[in-house]
Structure 1
C-alpha cells in the first residue's frame, strides 16, 4: 500500500484543457464505490486491481470469487482470513449499489457468508492512499466501503472508494468508451454511428434513453404522433407551440418539461437529464448549412431524417426542427445564435417518456467543421425501456466539472414535506419544496414572522474536519478566528481564494478540541479545505458528510417554545431554553431513548430560530415529533419561495446573487466576518482583502424602489446614462409594504438617501426610481433573532 497519483488526467491538447473529459490510460476502467456501499466487477486473470481511499480514514473490504464459487484472497495476491462483515452489513441496507451486487451474486451462485475478505485502509489512511492487487484467476470481485449511519455528533461518515481495473487484455482500438450498462432491461438497444439516423416506434408510457457514449456529441430527436400518422397527418414536436404552452417567450438553451404538437397534443416528457445543456431552437443540420460553409455534399442530419422517415410516408424537408440533445448553442447580446463544444461527458444521457404512441427518430450528428461535436463526431446509443419501469425524476448534478454525475436526491425529510406539496424544485442536487399547496409563499412568510415554520435545509454541504492540525487548517481557510471558538459554539464566516474572492459563506461548529464541522452552500468549500490540507501537509482530514446529516430549520417567535417540548439534552449539555445564539447542543428527540440530534440556534430567516440535524434514517421521526408540537401552535411548512423573501428582508446573502468569487466579504456585505484587527494569524486572501478594504470600489446596499415593479437580479443601476451597479436580489416586502432590493453599487453612490435608477429593457428605455436605504431593511439590530419581540 502506498500513495500514487490518480489515474485520470484532464483531456488536454495544445493548451486546451477539458477537466470535464477525464482521460484514463487505455485498458483502465474506473468504478466508484459509494461510502457505505459496494460494487461488483468481473475480473480476468492478469488484471491489476487498485483501490484508492478518496478522502482518507475509509476502510475498504475486498472479496474475490473464482468461477467455481471458491473465495480465496490469495487469488488476488492478498492475505485474507477475515469475515466479510462490512460487506454483509452493506448488502443488508438495501441500497441501489447493494441490490446490484446481490443480483451479481445470485446470478453466479456465490455465497457471501463463505467469503474470504481482505481489509485495507484500517489505519489512519490519507486521501489518495492506494492498495494494488493482481488477479491470478478469472472471477468476480466485490469491493465494499463499509460504514454505518453517522450519528449527528460523530464524524465517521463513510466515504467513497475508487476502484480501478487495469485490464491485462484491453483489446484493440484507441480506448473509446463503451456504452454504460442499461438502466434496466431494454426493449431496444441501438447504436447510431456518426452520420447516421435511426427511426423507431415507441408505445405510450415507455421510456427512451438517448445516450452520448463518448461525450461531446449532438443527437437530433424528433417524435410524431403515431395515431396522427395513421390518419395521414404529420404531427411532430413543434418548438413554437411548445415554447408557448410552457410559457417561454424566446427560444433558449435547455429542455422543457414536455413537448407538444401543433394540435396541442403532448408527445414526450423529460424524466432525467445528466447534461443540463441542450438546444431547443435550431434545426437539425442541413445541406444548405454545409453548402454555405463551402462543403457541398456533406452528409447532414436533415437529409438522413428524410431518408429514414420515408417508410412512414413523411414528406421530406430541407431542414428538420428537432430537440438537439447535447448541442451547446446560445444567444448573444444581439440575439444572434452562437455555438461551442457540447457540455456532455461520456455516458451523459436524457431519459424521456412517451405520452402517446410515437414514431421517433434520433441521429448521431456528422458535423466535423465546427465545435458542434467538439470537432470529432462519435456515436449515440438509443435504448427503449418498458412502461413498467420506475425511473425517478432527476437533473444531473456534479460537485465539480470532473466529478461523476449524481441523480437528484430526496432528502430524509422529503416525504414529510410531500404531505403538504407536490411542488418540488431541484436545488444543489436535491429536491426541495418551492411552496406549499395549502398555504402559498405569502402565508408561509407571515407564519414565520408571526408564529413558526419548519423548512428543509438538508442540501447544505457538511464536511467533517478532524485531526491534530484541524484548527490550523480552519484558521488558514476561513476569515473568522478559530482560536476563539469554544466547543459547543458556532460561528458564521467567509472562505476566500488568494485574490480575496469568496468561495462560500458558512458556519463552523466546534465539536471538540480537534473536531470541526464546516456547513456551507457549495461543495467547492469542502474540497478547498481538503486541497489545502494536502497541499500544506497538514495532519487533518476533511470528509464529506452531507448524505449522513440532514437538517430542518424551525424558525419564528414560537420556535423555542415548540422545540423545548421536543428536545431532550443530558446534564452536560445546555437545555434548549439555555441555548445561546450561535451555540449548539447534542441531544435526543423526546428522551434518552429517542433519535440523536444536534440542535443549533442558527437560521436564515431573520427570526429567532433553530436548526435540527439528524441522520436521514431518523428524519421522519424527528419531523413528526416537531410537527406534533408545532402544528397546534400554528407552525406550517415553508418552501424556497418564502425563504427567499425572508432572507432578502433580513439582508442575508446568497451565492451567485450577493457574492461570487469576484466579490470579497466587504463587497458582499459581510465585512463583519473579517476581524482583521483581532485575528493576527494569516489566512488565505487576507492581503487582498486588506487592500480592497483600504480602497473600496463596490458596496452592498439596500434600495427602496418606487412604482411597485419588482426588478430582476442583474438589472443595471444607473445614474444618468452611466451604469454604477446591479441588482442582486429584489422582492415586494409584505411587512414593509413596498418593493425593496439588495444591490451592489459603486461606493460613490452608496450613501443612504442617494437617488438611483434601475434600468430595464436595454437599461435606458425603462427606469425605476429608487433610493439607497438602510441595510438590512428589516430588523437591522437583529433583535428578533435574539428573541426580543418587544
Structure 2
C-alpha cells in the first residue's frame, strides 16, 4: 500500500491506475476536503455525487503556495488544464476522528486533493489538519518509484546489484531513491572539469568527517561532502532516513571472497565498469558514501550493521556544487542484513537548479507515522536573515545563536534587558467538545477542573506506569475548550487514544502549523509589550496580566494571544499569532524593543537560562521512565485531585517509595560537564548528570543531576566521573535547585503602580510554557 499525508490548507497531486483502491482518512475529525478527478476517468462514486458548490480547482491553485506551484507544474508537464476536473466534497463539518472515504478507480486517473481551510485566529480552535491518503494498487507496488518532486531532467533506474553513471551540472539536484525499502545505494561524485584534464578528485570521507565534525553530514550547516582538496562537491538538501554509512568502503570482491563467496557481484567492480568511459581509474575498493546502509559504531570499538531503516520511497536529495560525473549503485549484498537479505532497485532523478528545494530531515512522531521534513516557522524569514547557525530542533529550524551577539551576550540581554526567541517548535493541540474537560482531567496530573477561563497551568502527562510522556501547559479558552502546549508531537496521538478508549466526545486538533510564537523575556519585556499590544476593554492589558494567565489583542492590527509564561526564569511573555503574520509581529516588537536593548536569542543562551532557573528539558531531565518526582516537578501532582489520572496509582507508589531524586550540583573548576556524565560517591556511581552549564551570573559550573535517594542529601560532596568515570574526577557539592532566584521573584514580578495606572494597549494569544521544553 502507498500512503502519504496531505497537509492542512494545502493540495497534493497523485495518480491512480484502473482497479486501484483509494482511501482518504480524516484522522483528527472535522476536516473537509475536495477530491478533484480528471474528467473522463471519474469513478462511479464521484460521477454520481458531483459537488456543485466545490471551489474551482484553478482558483485554489492560483493561491500560489509551494504546494499549489508543485501541482501546477505536474499538470503542466502532462498537458492537463486545471479546468478539466470534476470535484467531490469529502467529510462533514462535524466528522468524527477516523472518518474515511473510499473509491475504486475505474480507469487510470489523475487526482488533486485539496484540504480545505483558512488561517486560524490565535484565540480560535479551528485549525485545518491533515488528511491521510492510502492507495491500495490493483497490482504489485514492487519496483514502483514514488512521484517525482518536480519535473525531472533525468529519470534513471539502477537495477538490483548494478551501477549507473551520469553527469550533473552545478546547482542541479540529485535524488537517490530506495524504491522498495531496506536497500543500500553507494554514491560517487567527481569534479567533471578536473576529470576532463586527467585529474581525479572525488568524494573523500576522511576530509569530510574532519571538516564537518560529524559522522554523517545532514541538511543544514553540516551538509557538505568534500574532496581531498577540501573543495565541497555536493551538499545534502533533504534526507528522509537520517541513518547512513560513512565509515567504510563500498562492498568489494575481497569482502565476498573472505566470506566464502568468490566471484560474487559487488559495487566496486560495478563502479569500475561504469566509470571507465569517463577516464576514472579502477580501484580494489571505492570509498563511497553509502546511503541507507545501517552501520553502527558499537561497544568495544566494533562497527556492526543491521537492516537499513529506509522504507519504500525514502530518499536523499543532494545538490551539485560544481559540474560532476556521478555514479550510483544498488548494492549487491545478499549474504547479510545490509539490504534486508534481498537486493532491490535504486532510482535516480536529477532536477533543474531552479527547483530550489527547501532543506530538511524527515521526522516521524511514531515509527508508522507519515514523515515530515523540517519546517520553517513564520518567523524564519527574520531569524535566518540574522544568523546561519540553525539547528533542526524537533522538526523546526531554530537559531542556535545570532551573528551580531552570540550566546553569552544574548544571555545577558535576557537577564538585564530583554530577549526575543522563536519557540514555534512547541506542539499545540486544540482540545474541544463536550468531554474536553474530562479528557484533560484524565490525561494530566493537575486538577484542570479548577482552571479558570484565560488561566494556564503547567503540568505533567504520564503513562500507565508513571513515566512522563511529556510536560506542558494547559490553556483554558472556554468551558469546553482547552489548548495543550508541549514539546512532543506524540502527545496528540496519546490524547486521541485516551479519548477513543474512554468513549469521550472530544476532538484533538493539531494547531502547531497555525499558531507560531515568540517569547519576549527579561526585566523590560513588560515595558516593551505594553507599548504595542492593544487589548479589548474586557480583557486584561499586558500591565495587568498575572503570572500564568493569557489575554488576547492586536499588535499593529495583527491578532495575537499573549501569555505570561516563559522558560528563562525571568519576567516574560509569549506572543502567539498565525505564521502568515509572524514577520509583522516580529518587526513591531523589534522596533519598539530596540531602544530597550531587545536582542534576538537562540537555543544556546536559552539552555544556560533554563538550567539556572531549574526548568527541566525532555530527553535530558526526564524521559518515559522518569516520574514527575524524579524529574523535580513533583509539585505538578496534587494529593487532593478528585479524579484519577493515567498513571496516578503508579505515581502515588513512586511518591511514597522514591528511588531517585533530582538535585542541583555546584561543580569545582571550569572543565566541561555534560548530560550523561556519571556522579560518584567514592568508587560507586550513584547517579547521572541530566543538564549542566557554565553559569554566567553565578560564575561557576552548575548542573542538575538525578541521584539515588540514599546519596542525595543536600550538602554532600560527590564527584563527576570523566573518561571512564574513574580516571578523572571533578569535585561537586549537592545543593538545592533552582540555583538562581529560587523564590522566583523575577518571574513573578508585578507591574509598578505607575505602570499599572498607565493606559496600556495590548493583546496576545499566548501559551504559558514555564518549565516546558522549548
Task: Work out whether the TM-score is over 0.5.
Answer: yes
Q: Secondary structure at the match of 2:300?
A: coil
Q: Aligned runs of 1:611-760 on 2, under 5 Å?
A: 611-675=574-638, 677-760=639-722
In structure 2, what is the equivalent of residue 62 of structure 1? 35
In structure 1, what is the equivalent of residue 394 of structure 2? 428
In structure 2, what is the equivalent of residue 277 of structure 1? 243
Q: C-alpha root-mean-square deviation of aligned residues, in Å?
A: 2.3
In structure 1, what is the equivalent of residue 373 of structure 2? 407
Q: Secondary structure at the match of 1:446?
A: helix
In structure 2, what is the equivalent of residue 599 of structure 1? 562
Does residue 51 (structure 1) correspond to residue 24 (structure 2)? The answer is yes
Task: Note if contact 2:417-2:523 (Cα within 8 Å) is conserved in structure 1.
Answer: yes
Which of 149, 152, 162 aligns to 2:122? It is 152
In structure 2, what is the equivalent of residue 339 of structure 1? 305
- Please give the alpha-carbon distance, in whole angstroms, between the structure 2 residues aligned to 1:359 and 1:42: 33
In structure 2, what is the equivalent of residue 129 of structure 1? 99
Measured after TM superposition, the shift of residue 301 of structure 1 is 1.2
Q: Output one character per residue of 1:544-598: Cα deviation in whole Å (capped at 9) or x when no partner.
A: 00000000110001111111111111122111111110000111114xxx11111
Q: Secondary structure at the match of 1:352?
A: strand
Measured after TM superposition, the shift of residue 318 of structure 1 is 2.4
Does residue 260 (structure 1) correspond to residue 226 (structure 2)? The answer is yes
Q: Secondary structure at the match of 1:155?
A: coil
Q: Output one character per residue of 1:432-467: Cα deviation in whole Å (capped at 9) or x when no partner.
A: 111110111100000000010110000100011001
Q: Secondary structure at the match of 2:623?
A: coil
Measured after TM superposition, the shift of residue 669 of structure 1 is 0.8
In structure 2, what is the equivalent of residue 206 of structure 1? 172
Measured after TM superposition, the shift of residue 294 of structure 1 is 2.5
Shifted more, 472-481 versus 41-50: the winner is 41-50
Change (3 A) 1:381 1:455: same
Task: Note if contact 1:702-1:773 (Cα within 8 Å) is conserved in structure 2.
Answer: yes
Does residue 329 (structure 1) correspond to residue 295 (structure 2)? The answer is yes
Q: Secondary structure at the match of 2:354?
A: coil
Q: Secondary structure at the match of 2:243?
A: coil
Change (3 A) 1:789 1:743: farther
Shifted more, 37-46 versus 191-200: the winner is 37-46
Does residue 95 (structure 1) correspond to residue 65 (structure 2)? The answer is yes
Change (3 A) 1:284 1:109: closer
Task: Note if contact 2:43-2:107 (Cα within 8 Å) is conserved in structure 1.
Answer: no
- Please give the alpha-carbon distance, in whole angstroms, between the structure 2 residues aligned to 1:122 and 1:226: 57
Q: Secondary structure at the match of 2:372?
A: coil
Does residue 36 (structure 1) correspond to residue 2 (structure 2)? The answer is no
Q: Secondary structure at the match of 1:396?
A: strand
- Please give the alpha-carbon distance, in whole angstroms, between the structure 2 residues aligned to 1:322 and 1:105: 37
- Please give the alpha-carbon distance, in whole angstroms, between the structure 2 residues aligned to 1:761 and 1:291: 39
In structure 2, what is the equivalent of residue 310 of structure 1? 276
Task: Note if contact 1:216-1:373 (Cα within 8 Å) is conserved in structure 2.
Answer: yes
Q: Output one character per residue of 1:278-337: Cα deviation in whole Å (capped at 9) or x when no partner.
A: 111111112222222222222111222222223334333222211111111111121110
Q: Output one character per residue of 1:512-543: Cα deviation in whole Å (capped at 9) or x when no partner.
A: 11000001001011110011111221101101
- Please give the alpha-carbon distance, in whole angstroms, between the structure 1 residues aligned to 2:234 and 2:37: 44
Task: Note if contact 1:86-1:147 (Cα within 8 Å) is conserved in structure 2.
Answer: no
Q: Aligned runs of 1:150-299 on 2, under 5 Å?
A: 150-167=120-137, 170-171=138-139, 174-247=140-213, 256-299=222-265
Unaligned runs of 5+ in 2: 753-774
Shifted more, 699-708 versus 93-102: the winner is 93-102
Question: What is the total number of aligned residue pairs between the two structures?
Answer: 749
Which of 719, 742, 746 aligns to 1:780? It is 742
Change (3 A) 1:457 1:89: farther
Task: Note if contact 1:496-1:684 (Cα within 8 Å) is conserved in structure 2.
Answer: yes
Q: Secondary structure at the match of 2:353?
A: coil
Does residue 513 (structure 1) correspond to residue 471 (structure 2)? The answer is no
Greater RCO structure (CA 8 Å; 6+ sep): 2
Unaligned runs of 5+ in 1: 1-23
Task: Note if contact 2:218-2:236 (Cα within 8 Å) is conserved in structure 1.
Answer: no
Change (3 A) 1:104 1:326: closer
- Please give the alpha-carbon distance, in whole angstroms, between the structure 2 residues aligned to 1:376 and 1:573: 65
- Please give the alpha-carbon distance, in whole angstroms, between the structure 2 residues aligned to 1:462 and 1:78: 39
In structure 1, what is the equivalent of residue 764 of structure 2? none
Shifted more, 581-590 versus 232-241: the winner is 232-241
Measured after TM superposition, the shift of residue 90 of structure 1 is 4.1
Change (3 A) 1:450 1:503: same
Measured after TM superposition, the shift of residue 42 of structure 1 is 4.0
Shifted more, 446-455 versus 421-430: the winner is 421-430
Task: Note if contact 1:713-1:727 (Cα within 8 Å) is conserved in structure 2.
Answer: yes
- Please give the alpha-carbon distance, in whole angstroms, between the structure 1 residues aligned to 2:230 and 2:202: 10
Measured after TM superposition, the shift of residue 222 of structure 1 is 1.8
Shifted more, 751-760 versus 484-493: the winner is 751-760
Measured after TM superposition, the shift of residue 116 of structure 1 is 5.7
In structure 2, what is the equivalent of residue 11 of structure 1? none
Change (3 A) 1:664 1:62: same
TM-score of the aligned structures, taking structure 1 as reference length = 0.91
- Please give the alpha-carbon distance, in whole angstroms, between the structure 2 residues aligned to 1:225 and 1:212: 25
Does residue 487 (structure 1) correspond to residue 453 (structure 2)? The answer is yes
Task: Note if contact 1:75-1:137 (Cα within 8 Å) is conserved in structure 2.
Answer: no
Measured after TM superposition, the shift of residue 179 of structure 1 is 1.1
Q: Secondary structure at the match of 1:662?
A: coil
- Please give the alpha-carbon distance, in whole angstroms, between the structure 1 residues aligned to 2:99 and 2:117: 18
- Please give the alpha-carbon distance, in whole angstroms, between the structure 2 residues aligned to 1:121 and 1:315: 61
Which of 483, 498, 502 aligns to 2:464? It is 498
Q: Output one character per residue of 1:165-207: Cα deviation in whole Å (capped at 9) or x when no partner.
A: 455xx34xx4315111222332322111121111222233322
Change (3 A) 1:586 1:177: farther
Task: Note if contact 1:32-1:160 (Cα within 8 Å) is conserved in structure 2.
Answer: yes
Measured after TM superposition, the shift of residue 93 of structure 1 is 3.0
In structure 2, what is the equivalent of residue 359 of structure 1? 325
Does residue 455 (structure 1) correspond to residue 421 (structure 2)? The answer is yes
In structure 1, what is the equivalent of residue 314 of structure 2? 348
Task: Note if contact 1:501-1:662 (Cα within 8 Å) is conserved in structure 2.
Answer: yes
- Please give the alpha-carbon distance, in whole angstroms, between the structure 2 residues aligned to 1:231 and 1:392: 34
- Please give the alpha-carbon distance, in whole angstroms, between the structure 2 residues aligned to 1:49 and 1:184: 23
TM-score of the aligned structures, taking structure 2 as reference length = 0.92
- Please give the alpha-carbon distance, in whole angstroms, between the structure 1 residues aligned to 2:462 and 2:43: 47
Shifted more, 265-274 versus 115-124: the winner is 115-124
Task: Note if contact 2:45-2:103 (Cα within 8 Å) is conserved in structure 1.
Answer: no
Does residue 440 (structure 1) correspond to residue 406 (structure 2)? The answer is yes
Q: Output one character per residue of 1:212-250: Cα deviation in whole Å (capped at 9) or x when no partner.
A: 1111111111222233333433322222222222235xx
Task: Note if contact 2:216-2:244 (Cα within 8 Å) is conserved in structure 1.
Answer: no
Q: Output one character per residue of 1:476-524: Cα deviation in whole Å (capped at 9) or x when no partner.
A: 1111111111110000011111111111110000001100000100101
Task: Note if contact 2:46-2:88 (Cα within 8 Å) is conserved in structure 1.
Answer: no
Q: Secondary structure at the match of 1:693?
A: helix
Shifted more, 126-135 versus 481-490: the winner is 126-135
